[in-house]
Amino acid sequence: MNKKNARNASLILALVLSLGAASLLPNAVGEYWVRLTNAALISSAAVLGLNFVLGYAGQISMMHASVAGMGAYAVAIGTVKFGLNPWLGCLIGMATAGAFSYVTGILLLRLKGHYFALATLGINVSFIIVVSNLVEITGGSNGLTGIPALTILGFAFDSERRFYYLALVAVVLLAVFASYVRHSQLGRSMIAVRDDELAASVSGLNVTAVKVTALTLGGVYAGVAGVMFALHARFVAPEDFSTSTSIVYLAMLVVGGEATILGSILGAFVITFLPEWLRWLGSAYLVIFGLLVLLMLFLAPRGLAGLFGFAWSKWKAQLSSKEAGKWRFSK
Tens digits of residue pLDDT in 220-237: 999 999 999 999 999 999
Q: Percent of the chain scored above 70 by pLDDT?
A: 91
Tens digits of residue pLDDT in 14-28: 667 777 778 888 888
Tens digits of residue pLDDT in 249-270: 999 999 999 999 999 999 999 9
Identify the residue with better confidence: 283 or 7.
Answer: 283
- Report in angstroms the alpha-carbon separations of 276 from 89, 243, 280, 286, 302: 33, 22, 8, 11, 24
Mean per-residue pLDDT, 203-222: 96
* Coil, helix or strand at residue 151: strand
Residues 260 and 50: beta-carbon distance below 8 Å: no
Tens digits of residue pLDDT in 44-67: 999 999 999 999 999 999 999 999
Asked whether residue 326 carries a pLDDT value surpassing 70, the answer given is no
What average pLDDT is seen over the chain?
90
Tens digits of residue pLDDT in 143-190: 999 999 999 988 999 999 999 999 999 999 999 999 999 999 999 999
- Quickly list DSSP for 185-225: HHHHHHHHHHH-HHHHHHTT--HHHHHHHHHHHHHHHHHHH
Tens digits of residue pLDDT in 198-208: 999 999 999 99
